Amino acid sequence: MDTNTEDILNTLTLEEKVSLLAGKDFWETVPVKAKGVPAIKTSDGPNGARGETFSGGKRAACFPASCCSASTWNPELLRQVGHALAEETQTKGARVLLGPTMCNHRHPLGGRNFESFSEDPLLTGKLAAQYVIGVQEKGVAGTCKHYAANEQETDRLTVDEIISERALREIYLKPFEIAVKEANPWAFMTAYNQINGTHADSNKFILEKVLRGEWGWKGLVMSDWGGTNSTADALNTGLDLEMPGPTRHRSYKAVKQAIKNGELTEETINDRARNVLELIRKVGGFRNPEIPPERSEDRPEHRKLIRDVAGQGLVLLKNDTDVLPLKKDQVKGKKIALLGLAKEALIHGGGSASLHSHYRISPWEGMHNTYGDDVEFKFAKGAHTYRLLPPLKGNWTLKAFDRGSHDKPSLTVEHQKEAAFTGLFNEAVKWKDLELTTTFVPTETGEHYIACSGIGPTVVKINDKVVFEQKGSTNDSMGFLFGGNPEIEFTYSFTKDASYSIKIESQPPGKEGSDFGGILSGMPGFRMGFMYAKEHDEDLTSAAVDVAKECDYAIVFTGHTPVWETEGQDQASFHLPNKDHCQDKLIEAVAAANSKTIVVNSTGVAVAMDWLPKVSAVVQAWFSGQEAGNAIADVLSGAVNPSGRLPLSWPKRLEDSPAHGNFPGEKEDGQLTVKYSEGVFVGYRHYDRISQDKVLFPFGFGLSYTTFNLKDAKATQDSSGRFITEVTVSNTGKQAGATVTQLYVGRTKQSAEHPIKTLAAFKKVFLEAGKEERVMLSIDLKDFAYFDQGSNRWKVDRGRYNFSFGQSAQNIESVVEVEIEGGSRELKL
C-alpha cells in the first residue's frame, strides 16, 4: 500500500514541516522519525555515483562525461546509462542522483561544458530525457541541473546574466522543457547564477511562471549546494529544499519570523514540505527507510556499457590517407611511439563530477591490452602538463589559533606530509587562523620554483622573510578545493643541504558570522607548491622527438587533466596547456619528425588546433570514463568503427565563437554582469550566418572507416499536423558502420531574425557495408517553432521551409521544400 503523503503532512507541526525544507547534512534530508518520515540520501553526479566522500571514498563506476555521451547521438544508449547509474546510486545508499547536467555549451572556455551535453537544446533535451527515464525506471530520482543558464564558472555564485526571453526559452530552458515533457524528472536543481537580476533559486520567471506554471511540473526543486540566497523569497518562489544542511536560511526561528511579518504563509510551507514528502515517496523511502552503508560493486555489464558508450562517443576528426585504423596485422612487428599523456587516464573532469573509480585504463594500458607483444611501444612524456606545482613534501606541524590570538593553539597536528590543507567541514578549524611550519633542507642549489594560494588571506615566510602574500580571499572556495585556482609561480634561491624554516599563515575567508564562501564560510585552506629548477625547466620535447623518429607511427595524447578542466574555473586558454602551449609545440615537433603522426585529444571542449594540417589523423576522445584507454585502442585498431559526431561546433579561433566579447562578462562595482548578446544565435546557428571558414569542424561532424550518403528525401504532413519525413541512408564503403541522420528545418527565404536552420530530429543508423535503409523521422511544428516576445507565444510563420537532411550542419545532402499553410501558427507547447 502506497503512503499517503497528505495524511503524513497533516500530522506534522509547523516546526517539523520547516525542518524538512533543508538538508540534515551534506547529503541527506532531515528525518522526522516520530511521524514516520525517513531521511533520504543524495549523491553526485552526472557520470557516476561518487557517494559521500569527495576524495578517496568507496570506489564507483566512472561513466563517460556527458560531452562524450552526447557524441553518440544515441538516446537509447543514454537510457541504458541511466539504468546503470541508478544501480550505482543504490550502492551508495542514495535514492537521488544529482544529474544530468543540462546547461548549454555557450562558449568554448566554459569550465563545466564537459558535464553538459551540447550546444543544441534539442540534442541535449532528447538525450537527457532518456537518461532520466533510465534512472527513474530503477526507482532513483534524476535531478535536472543546473536550472538555468549556468554556462560559466567565473563568479558563478553571483554573476548576473542578461538574457532575452526568446533566447531563454529557445536555447537555455528548452532542454529542461523536453526533459519535463518526455521524462517527468522527479527533481530539479537550481543554478547559482542570477538571471536578469534575480538568483535562480528565487527567480519567479523560471520557477513559478515556466516550470511549475506553463509546464505543469510537480516535482521537487532543490538548491545547488550553497545556492540558497534568501528565506522568504526562495520559499515563495518554489525552492523546496535547501542543500546542504544544516540550514543557513531556513531555521524555524527565521521562517516563523517571516510568517509573523507577513512575508510567508503556512500554506507555502505546506506546499514545500509536501514536495519533499512526495519525493521520499517516489524513491521508496517510506517503504524502506534504511540508508545502508556505502559499498563498491564492479559489475561486468557496467564495464561493457562504459566501453560501448565511449566507443560510440569518440569522434574521428581527421584521417588523411586512411592512416587509421592501425589494424593488428598491419602493425605487427612495428614500433609505435605513445607520447604526451599516454600514461594518464583522462576519464573525467574536475569538481563534483569526479569520483574514485573502480579502475582507470590509460591509453598506454589500452594499447598493450589490444596489441599485446605484437607491437613495440615506446614512451616519452614530451610536455609539462601540470597546472599547480606539487605540494612541498616534508614533516609539517599544523596549528590552529583563535582569530587574532596566536599565543596558544587550540589545535596542534604533527607530521603533516605536505604543504596543503583544506578544512572541509572540519569544525575544529572553522574560523581559525592556521600556521603550518617545517624545516626544509633542499637537495639541490639554485633558483627553485614556488607557487601558493589560499581560500583566505595567506602569507608564506622563509627564514621569517615574506616571500608570498595573498591579501584577499578566493572568489570560489569550492573551486579552490577542486584544484583549479590559478597560482603565480616565482623563484627562490636555495642552497643544497642548508636548513630553511618555512611558515605558512592562512586565515579563513571573510569575517566571522559572514556568509562569504557560502557553504564553506569560515573554512580555511591553503597550498604551497614546489619544484626543483632542473625538473621544472627540463626539455621534454626533444626526447619525444627522438622517440618519434625511430618509430613507424607516433601517437600524441593530449588533453586536460582534471585541474585544467574543472568546476569552479573557466578554461585558462583556448590552447592546450601548460605554459607556452607546450602540448601544441610537442605535436608540431613530432609531426615534423614522423609523417604518420596521430593526435588523440581528451578534453571536454573544443581547443585550438593550429597544427591540424601537419598531422595525419585526429581523434577526439573527450573524458571517456574508466574504460578510456581500452575504448581509444578499440577505435585506433579498428575493432570499433568510429561513429561519434560532434555535439558542438569547433571554431578555428576563439574570436569567432558566438559569445566572444560577452564572456565571462564585465565587472562594475564588484558585480560581474554578462550579456547574452548573441541571443538565439548559439553554435551552428551563429556559424550558419557567417563564413564557414570560421569553423574547423561543424556541429554534427564525424568521420568513419566507411562512407555514407543520404538521398531521396521526402516530407509530408499528416492529418494531425505532424510531418513525416523519409530519407535513404546508404553505407557506400567496405565495412559495417554507423552514421547520424540529421534533420534541420529553416525558412526557405532567410530572415535576419531567425536561424537559417535548426536541428529538429536525428537518428543514429547502423548499416552493413553496401546496405541501405529508409529512415523515417517524425516532427511537430513545436520542434522548429520560435518564441515571439511580442505576442508571448510560440509560433511557426506561414511560408516555405527547407527540410534539410545531412550528416553535419554543413554537410547537407538532400533538401525538401515544404509549404506550411494557414498564416502565422500560434502554438501552445
User: DSSP letter at 152?
Assistant: -
Q: What is the DSSP secondary-structure string of 366-387?
A: HHHHHHGGGSEEEEE--S---S
In whole angstroms, give the CA distance from residue 133 to residue 301: 19
Instruction: Specify the pLDDT at position 827.
Output: 59
In whole angstroms, give the CA distance from residue 623 to residue 689: 31
pLDDT higher than threshold 70 for residue 434: yes
pLDDT higher than threshold 80 for residue 477: no
| Tens-digit pLDDT profile for residues 298-353 | 999 999 999 999 999 999 999 999 999 999 999 999 999 999 999 999 999 999 89
Question: 3-state DSSP call for residue 494?
Answer: strand
Please state the domain extents for the chain: 300-386+538-668, 393-535, 706-827
Instruction: Specify the pLDDT at position 671.
Output: 95
pLDDT higher than threshold 90 for residue 666: yes
Architecture of the domain whose range is 300-386+538-668? 3-Layer(aba) Sandwich (3.40)
Would you place residue 481 in the very low, low, confident or very high pLDDT band (cuts 50, 70, 90)? Answer: confident
Q: What is the DSSP secondary-structure string of 628-656?
A: HHHHHHHHHHTSS------SS-EESSGGG
Count Cβ atoms below 10 Å from residue 88 Cβ, excluding itself.
Answer: 26
Would you identify the CATH topology of the domain 706-827? Immunoglobulin-like (2.60.40)
Lowest mean pLDDT among 123-132, 186-195, 570-579, 709-718: 570-579
Instruction: Specify the pLDDT at position 242.
Output: 98
Closest CA to 383 of 621, 603, 616, 587: 587
User: H or E stretch including 585?
Assistant: helix 582-593
Cell of 103: 546547461
CB 272 within 8 A of CB 202: no
| Mean pLDDT along residues 796-825 | 90
| Tens-digit pLDDT profile for residues 27-69 | 999 999 999 999 999 999 899 999 999 888 999 999 999 999 9
Instruction: Specify the pLDDT at position 474.
Output: 83
CATH of domain 393-535: 2.60.120.260
In whole angstroms, give the CA distance from residue 120 to residue 174: 9
Pairing of strands 723-731, 708-717: antiparallel
Instruction: Specify the pLDDT at position 823.
Output: 45
Instruction: Specify the pLDDT at position 494.
Output: 98
| Mean pLDDT along residues 519-524 | 82
Cell of 631: 575504448
| Tens-digit pLDDT profile for residues 692-743 | 789 999 999 999 999 999 999 999 999 888 999 999 999 999 999 999 999 9
CA R_g for the chain: 27
Instruction: Specify the pLDDT at position 31.
Output: 98
The reply to whether domains 300-386+538-668 and 706-827 share a CATH topology is no
**C-alpha separations of 156 from 145, 159, 195, 203, 793 in Å:** 14, 6, 12, 16, 31
pLDDT higher than threshold 80 for residue 214: yes
Would you place residue 484 in the very low, low, confident or very high pLDDT band (cuts 50, 70, 90)? Answer: low
| Mean pLDDT along residues 506-511 | 86
| Mean pLDDT along residues 620-638 | 98
- List CB contacts of 828: < 8 A, sequence separation 6 or more: 793, 794
Instruction: Specify the pLDDT at position 176.
Output: 98
**C-alpha separations of 457 from 106, 474, 824 in Å:** 33, 9, 60
| Tens-digit pLDDT profile for residues 537-573 | 999 999 999 999 999 999 999 999 999 999 988 999 9
Report the predicted TM-score, pTM, of the whole model to 2 decimal places.
0.95
Instruction: Specify the pLDDT at position 512.
Output: 74
pLDDT higher than threshold 80 for residue 513: no
Query: Between 771 and 423, where is the model more confident?
Result: 771
pLDDT higher than threshold 90 for residue 506: yes
Catalytic residues: 224
pLDDT higher than threshold 50 for residue 368: yes
Cell of 398: 599544523
In whole angstroms, give the CA distance from residue 125 to residue 176: 6
Would you place residue 84 in the very low, low, confident or very high pLDDT band (cuts 50, 70, 90)? Answer: very high
Lowest mean pLDDT among 152-156, 472-476, 725-729: 472-476
Instruction: Specify the pLDDT at position 826.
Output: 53
Instruction: Specify the pLDDT at position 405.
Output: 83
CB 782 within 8 A of CB 760: no
Instruction: Specify the pLDDT at position 510.
Output: 79
179 phi and psi, to 5 degrees? -65, -40
